[in-house]
């Protein structure tokens, strides 16, 4: 799994949230003649950014970034941090974790700390447009059925950083990204945008969505606040009971999960080497990992069958052949097999559950960039520097064909 959320440390002498950093806002020229389109998967644990110029199909920027900001601690000796930077992002923050206070801007897929989120978005802007002179139009993935408050939080954090935004459910964007445009219309190709069910398992939420040729309604989506982070927590709690005073950090537990995660019958023995107090130890973690990961299946499966029941009788047979698991959770060994076996055991007609494949980290962002290229002018939400969102028509494109046309 690709999960990298970090615990928010609490320091008795510091506020729970760090003060806004001294990162300067991107330069805002009087007139912007260049437009950069951004597809952005703002993930709880890892974010993916794709960017390219409007009017071009080229991708100029493609990056996967751990969604974490590191604020350098007071008193760090000059030269310890490259360039004596005060704020680090992503992998840079993780590498310097001994010397920074690491803060995750999101929790369960929504913004938990607006100041930190703004700092992170400024870094995204700098990556997408190093010159700081372009107009940035970003399609941002949101958890399925994200409420208006969560969407407003994203708008507020993006004001003065992005110029225009469009927010679309992540599993729907994953279907657009998974779609092989060059094969659409071929006799043996099943277009996932036409009739499929996507399960996008991230760090904070597991999002399920019926994708049937139209923009999904609220009834077509389910978001479950149980995903990679929750698995980490269950593992750590059981480790603390089984191996008291083990000293394993949440980050190390996450690394163990990403290497060994599985669902289904117990895979004991599963011995994992860990370093405790400087000494190597072998811990038997087969049941610890299996129980935590199987809990994810127990959470997802009822939502999966609920959405299947909402599909029309004319579409459900084909739908059952196109259940796709993506996101970091798709890397859990056996997940597709276990879900498919449960459906068969419950009498569903010839279900087929498949994994999205090697590009699982990028599908939401790929779909978002496609959507940005297809969006009409009146579908963008204009973010004003005065921190007010324009009253123009904000609705996302209603047709997947329009979204994928770019």
Is residue 231 a contact partner of residue 153, using CB atoms and an 8 Å limit?
Answer: no
Is residue 39 a contact partner of residue 367, using CB atoms and an 8 Å limit?
Answer: yes
DSSP characters over 231-250: HHHHHHHHHHHHSTT----H
- Tokens in use for 51? 């960017």
Please give the Cα distance from 346 to 381 (Å, whole number).
Answer: 44
Close Cβ partners of 219 (under 8 Å, ≥ 6 residues apart): 310
Close Cβ partners of 301 (under 8 Å, ≥ 6 residues apart): 339, 342
Is residue 114 a contact partner of residue 149, using CB atoms and an 8 Å limit?
Answer: no
Please give the Cα distance from 197 to 331 (Å, whole number).
Answer: 18
Please give the Cα distance from 200 to 215 (Å, whole number).
Answer: 17
Cα torsion angle, 385, 379, 374, 320, sign: positive
pLDDT recorded at residue 269: 87
How many of the other CB atoms lie within 10 Å of CB of 249?
A: 13
Kindly provide the residue ranges of all beta strands, DSSP E only, lying in 42-180, ordered along the sequence: 46-53, 61-66, 69-72, 87-89, 100-103, 106-107, 110-111, 135-142, 164-169
- The pTM for the full model equals 0.85
pLDDT recorded at residue 392: 41
Is residue 260 a contact partner of residue 288, using CB atoms and an 8 Å limit?
Answer: no
Tell whether omega for the bond before 269 is within 30 degrees of 0, i.e. cis. yes
In 219-285, alpha helices (H): 228-242, 250-260
pLDDT recorded at residue 27: 52
Find the distance separating the first CA and the last CA of the chain, reported in whole Å. 30
pLDDT recorded at residue 244: 85
- Pairing mode, if any, of strands 164-169 and 196-201? unpaired
- Tokens in use for 336? 């597709």
Q: Is 89 helix (H, G, I), strand (E, B) or coil?
A: strand
Please give the Cα distance from 364 to 366 (Å, whole number).
Answer: 5
Per-residue pLDDT of the chain (406 residues; tens, 9 = 90+): 444 333 433 333 343 445 455 555 555 545 677 999 999 999 999 999 999 999 899 999 999 999 999 999 999 999 999 999 999 999 999 999 999 999 999 999 999 999 999 999 999 999 999 999 999 999 999 999 899 999 999 999 999 999 999 999 999 999 999 999 999 999 989 899 999 999 999 999 999 999 998 989 999 999 999 999 999 999 999 999 988 888 899 999 999 999 999 999 999 888 988 888 888 889 999 999 999 999 999 999 999 999 999 999 999 999 999 999 999 999 999 999 999 999 999 999 999 999 998 899 999 999 999 999 999 999 999 997 644 433 343 444 445 545 544 4
Helices (H) and strands (E) in the chain, counts: 11, 18
Q: Of 299, 279, 269, which Cα lies nearest the Cα of 207? A: 299
Q: Domains of the chain (ranges plus CATH)?
A: 35-176+361-404 (3.30.420.40), 181-227+293-355 (3.30.420.40), 228-291 (3.30.420.40)
Please give the Cα distance from 202 to 191 (Å, whole number).
Answer: 23
- Tokens in use for 308? 């299947």
In 141-220, alpha helices (H): 148-158, 170-178
In the sheet that holds 221-224, the strands lie side by side as 221-224, 206-211, 196-201, 323-326, 353-355
DSSP characters over 318-349: HHHT-EEEESGGGGSBTHHHHHHHHHHHTT-S
Is residue 306 a contact partner of residue 223, using CB atoms and an 8 Å limit?
Answer: no
pLDDT recorded at residue 26: 53
Kindly report the CA angle at 232 between 336 and 281, in degrees rounded to 5? 105
């Amino acid at each position: 799994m690709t999960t990298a959320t970090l615990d928010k440390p609490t320091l008795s002498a510091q506020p729970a949230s760090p003060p806004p950093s001294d990162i300067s806002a991107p330069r805002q020229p009087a007139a912007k003649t260049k437009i950069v389109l951004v597809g952005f998967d703002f993930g709880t644990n890892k974010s993916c950014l794709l960017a390219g110029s409007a009017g071009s199909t080229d991708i100029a920027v493609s990056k996967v970034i751990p969604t974490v900001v590191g604020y350098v601690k007071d008193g760090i000796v000059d030269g310890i941090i490259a360039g004596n930077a005060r704020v680090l992002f992503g992998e840079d923050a993780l590498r310097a974790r001994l010397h920074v206070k690491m803060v995750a801007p999101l929790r369960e897929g929504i913004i938990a700390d607006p100041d930190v989120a703004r700092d992170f978005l400024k870094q995204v802007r700098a990556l997408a447009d190093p010159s700081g002179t372009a107009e940035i139009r970003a399609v941002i993935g949101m958890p399925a059925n994200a409420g208006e408050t969560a969407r407003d939080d994203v708008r507020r954090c993006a004001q003065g950083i992005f110029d225009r935004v469009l927010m679309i459910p992540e599993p729907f964007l994953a279907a657009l990204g998974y779609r092989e445009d060059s094969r659409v219309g071929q006799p043996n190709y099943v277009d996932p945008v036409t009739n499929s069910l996507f399960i996008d398992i991230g760090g904070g939420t597991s999002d399920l969505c019926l994708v049937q040729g139209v923009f999904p309604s609220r009834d077509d989506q389910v978001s479950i606040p149980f995903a990679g982070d929750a698995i980490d927590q269950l593992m750590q709690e059981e480790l603390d009971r089984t191996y008291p005073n083990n000293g394993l950090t949440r980050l190390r537990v996450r690394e163990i999960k990403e290497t060994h995660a599985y669902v289904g019958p117990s895979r004991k023995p599963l011995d994992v080497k860990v370093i405790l107090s400087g000494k190597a130890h072998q811990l038997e973690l087969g049941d610890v990992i299996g129980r935590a990961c199987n809990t994810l299946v127990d959470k997802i499966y009822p939502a999966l069958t609920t959405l299947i029941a909402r599909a029309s009788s004319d579409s459900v047979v084909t739908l059952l052949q196109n259940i796709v698991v993506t996101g970091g959770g798709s890397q859990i060994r056996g997940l597709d097999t276990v879900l498919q076996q449960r459906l068969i055991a419950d009498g569903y007609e010839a279900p087929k559950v498949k994994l999205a494949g090697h590009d699982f980290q990028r599908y939401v962002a790929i779909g978002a960039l496609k959507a940005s290229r297809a969006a009409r002018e009146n579908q963008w939400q204009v973010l004003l520097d005065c921190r007010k969102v324009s009253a123009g028509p904000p609705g996302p494109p209603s047709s997947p064909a329009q979204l994928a046309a770019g």
